[in-house]
């Protein structure tokens, strides 16, 4: 605990409103909200929640893309002493209903019209009995049993501000702030419980290290339902006095235009985001001179990407970090003073005040330079999985180490390099192969814009690599040429035996390549996308 920092997320908003009241906090199209307005509007949301009977500790969900109402709703939930439950916008009705039921959410803020459909309709016939209220955000005609956003806010007029202030005063560093359900890539999604104080402590350090400061224009395309868009997104921005520009969908051309028009200076995202921007055929037509800083991570980062971000996108400060939902989204980070080589080849050292190790299956720390599972311990580790003691014990051992499921290597300085996910590893003729490492080795090929590797069955070797490749605009390459190049640049057992050239790679809502889709498409013996 750092006593010099705000201890709760509502305190972050109150402090920002006092420190720079007239500075823009959010710009979403024609909607411009100052920091003073942010505090007032969040309080109005909290009053609306109290008017509907939401109690301290109740779960309140948000199912919407990146838009200003998402942030106001989240801040109001926290001010009311309730617990935020973000829902992935790519979920179908049954998936959302499952999480709403398991979290026992009493109220849902849901976008109305989105991607050609009326989102609340997806819950028809499967709305949990515990969900008492549904508030509709943005466009769309609310139906019976649904409350428009404006009407919801008006209901709060009957609740005095003092009632909200009392809820805020009852919160502390360890109070539960959010319940974020994991993506479910390894099974049924689990609800990760995180407190107010650790989020503030971690992302205050993160913001300072990555160069996010007052007056920055922060384009947030990472979805707010993910820690990258929520905690490393608008929470970090409000801690720093930056201006948030929400971006609902990832479209490379649209993002490049927004950077030029809105003079965006700060842009984090996974490697896929930057690689897709770099592959845009009209890249040179956009004025990107405002871009000052970027953060990438969430996957193994090819060193060539860092170089290209600096040289082709003109980003002055490029750094890397690593985290996962179970540690609040931030585990390691590079320092501003770190060399370009360090930033390109590692994701930094442990967050100050926390511990990091690489261990074998028996929990023994591995020597420097040897791969093992990345394990974390410290204040940033989750409080546990919601109503899942067995799952919590499996993730966090008796000594307090969080088992991440990621494979990594530590150097002599304690800097981490992530090599892959344990579940993605395949074994070729007795050799462990890590797809992310193979992708990193393929990245320098001058014709490759994007590459994704999966393991596929092979009668002789057990498993071999299969690469899906997106070429740079105007480049030509065939499978035989690429395989020959790989043989010259990596160990033979790592060389992909099959290559498919595709126009695009499937990505999930966090803009990471979705290898589940690639595996399914390969099994169906069809070329994807």
pLDDT of residue 113: 95
pLDDT tens digits for range 101-110: 999 999 999 9
* Overall average pLDDT of the 248-257 stretch: 92
The residues, any chain, with a CB within 8 Å of residue 488's CB and separated by 6 or more, are: none
Using CA atoms, how far apart are residues 305 and 255, in angstroms rounded to an integer? Answer: 18
Report whether pLDDT(161) > 90.
yes
* Overall average pLDDT of the 38-43 stretch: 98
Torsion sign, CA atoms 144, 146, 151, 156: positive
Question: Which residue do the tokens 């049924």 mark?
Answer: 188
pLDDT tens digits for range 488-507: 988 788 999 999 999 999 98
- CATH class, range 425-523: alpha beta
- In terms of phi and psi (left: phi > 0; alpha: psi -120 to 50; beta: otherwise), the region of 23 is beta
User: What's the whole-number average pLDDT of the chain?
Assistant: 91
Q: What percent of the chain has a predicted confidence (pLDDT) above 70?
A: 97
Using CA atoms, how far apart are residues 520 and 250, in angstroms rounded to an integer? Answer: 24
* Overall average pLDDT of the 205-228 stretch: 94
The residues, any chain, with a CB within 8 Å of residue 500's CB and separated by 6 or more, are: 466, 467, 468, 469, 527, 528
Report whether pLDDT(512) > 90.
no
pLDDT class of 525 with cuts at 50, 70, 90: low
* Overall average pLDDT of the 458-467 stretch: 84
pLDDT tens digits for range 287-309: 999 999 999 875 567 778 888 99
User: What pTM did the predictor assign?
Assistant: 0.84
N- to C-terminal Cα separation, the chain: 48
pLDDT of residue 528: 43
**Domain layout of the chain by residue ranges:** 9-181, 250-422, 425-523
The residues, any chain, with a CB within 8 Å of residue 443's CB and separated by 6 or more, are: 302, 303, 304, 305, 451
Using CA atoms, how far apart are residues 192 and 52, in angstroms rounded to an integer? Answer: 26
pLDDT of residue 273: 86
Using CA atoms, how far apart are residues 276 and 504, in angstroms rounded to an integer? Answer: 9
pLDDT of residue 5: 94
pLDDT tens digits for range 388-406: 999 999 999 999 999 998 8
How far CA 320 is from CA of 222, 339, 388, in Å, comes to: 15, 12, 32
Q: Within 13 Å and on the Cβ side, how many CA atoms surround 232?
A: 34
- SS3 of residue 182 by DSSP: coil
pLDDT class of 186 with cuts at 50, 70, 90: very low
pLDDT of residue 460: 74
pLDDT tens digits for range 55-75: 999 999 999 999 999 999 999
pLDDT tens digits for range 120-155: 999 999 999 999 999 999 988 889 999 999 999 999
pLDDT of residue 513: 86
pLDDT of residue 399: 95
Report whether pLDDT(184) > 60.
no
Rg of the chain over CA atoms, in angstroms?
Answer: 23
pLDDT of residue 422: 66
Query: Which of 128, 150, 126, 155 is closest to 137 using CA atoms?
Result: 150
* Overall average pLDDT of the 215-243 stretch: 96
pLDDT of residue 185: 42
9-181 maps to CATH 3.40.718.10: no
pLDDT of residue 300: 60
Same fold, 9-181 and 425-523: no
* Overall average pLDDT of the 451-479 stretch: 90
Domain 250-422, architecture per CATH = 3-Layer(aba) Sandwich (3.40)
pLDDT of residue 522: 85
Report whether pLDDT(433) > 90.
no
pLDDT class of 183 with cuts at 50, 70, 90: low
Torsion sign, CA atoms 14, 19, 22, 24: negative
pLDDT class of 214 with cuts at 50, 70, 90: very high
pLDDT of residue 234: 98
Question: Which residue do the tokens 């070429």 mark?
Answer: 471
């Amino acid at each position: 605990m750092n006593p010099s920092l705000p201890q709760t997320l509502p305190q972050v908003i109150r402090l920002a409103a006092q420190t720079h009241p007239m500075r823009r906090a959010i710009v979403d199209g024609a909607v411009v909200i100052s920091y003073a307005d942010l505090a007032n509007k969040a309080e109005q949301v909290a009053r609306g929640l109290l008017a509907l009977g939401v109690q301290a500790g109740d779960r309140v969900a948000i199912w919407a893309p990146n838009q200003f109402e998402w942030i106001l709703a989240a801040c109001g939930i926290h001010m009311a002493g309730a617990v935020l439950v973000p829902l992935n916008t790519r979920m179908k009705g049954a998936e959302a209903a499952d999480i709403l039921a398991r979290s026992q959410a009493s109220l849902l803020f849901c976008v109305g019209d989105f991607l050609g459909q009326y989102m609340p309709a997806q819950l028809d016939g499967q709305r949990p009995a515990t969900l008492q209220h549904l508030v509709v955000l943005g466009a769309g005609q609310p139906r019976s049993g649904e409350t428009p956003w404006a009407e919801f806010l008006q209901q709060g007029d009957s609740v005095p501000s003092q009632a909200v202030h009392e809820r805020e005063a009852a919160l502390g560093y360890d109070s539960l702030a959010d319940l974020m359900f994991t993506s479910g890539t390894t099974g049924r999604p689990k609800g990760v419980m995180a407190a107010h104080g650790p989020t503030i402590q971690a992302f205050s350090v993160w913001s300072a290290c990555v160069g996010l400061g007052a007056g920055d224009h922060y384009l947030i395309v990472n979805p707010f339902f993910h820690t990258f868009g929520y905690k490393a997104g608008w929470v970090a921005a409000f801690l720093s006095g930056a201006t948030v520009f929400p971006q609902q969908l990832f479209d490379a051309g649209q993002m490049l235009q927004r950077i030029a028009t809105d003079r965006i200076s700060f842009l984090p995202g996974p490697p896929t985001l930057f690689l897709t921007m770099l592959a845009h055929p009209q890249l040179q037509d956009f004025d990107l001179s405002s871009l000052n800083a970027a953060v990438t991570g969430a996957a193994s980062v090819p060193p060539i990407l860092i170089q290209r971000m600096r040289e082709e996108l003109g980003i002055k400060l490029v750094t890397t970090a690593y985290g996962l939902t179970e540690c609040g989204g931030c585990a390691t980070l590079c320092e501003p003073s770190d060399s370009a080589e360090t930033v390109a080849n590692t994701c930094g050292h442990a967050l100050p005040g926390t511990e990091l190790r690489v261990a074998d299956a028996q929990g023994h720390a591995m020597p420097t330079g040897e791969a093992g599972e990345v394990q974390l311990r410290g204040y940033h580790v989750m409080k546990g999985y919601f109503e899942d003691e067995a799952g919590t014990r499996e993730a966090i051992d008796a000594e307090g180490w969080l088992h991440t499921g990621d494979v990594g290597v530590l150097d002599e300085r304690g800097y981490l390099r992530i090599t892959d996910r344990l579940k993605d590893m395949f074994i070729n003729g007795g050799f462990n192969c890590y797809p992310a490492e193979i992708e990193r080795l393929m990245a320098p090929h001058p014709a490759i814009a994007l590459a994704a590797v999966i393991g596929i069955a092979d009668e002789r070797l057990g498993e071999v690599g299969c690469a899906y490749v997106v070429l740079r605009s105007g480049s030509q390459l065939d499978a035989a040429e690429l395989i020959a190049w790989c043989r010259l640049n990596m160990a033979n057992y790592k060389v992909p035996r099959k290559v498919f050239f595709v126009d695009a790679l499937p990505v999930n809502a966090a803009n990471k390549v979705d290898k589940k889709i690639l595996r399914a498409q390969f099994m169906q013996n069809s070329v994807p996308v």
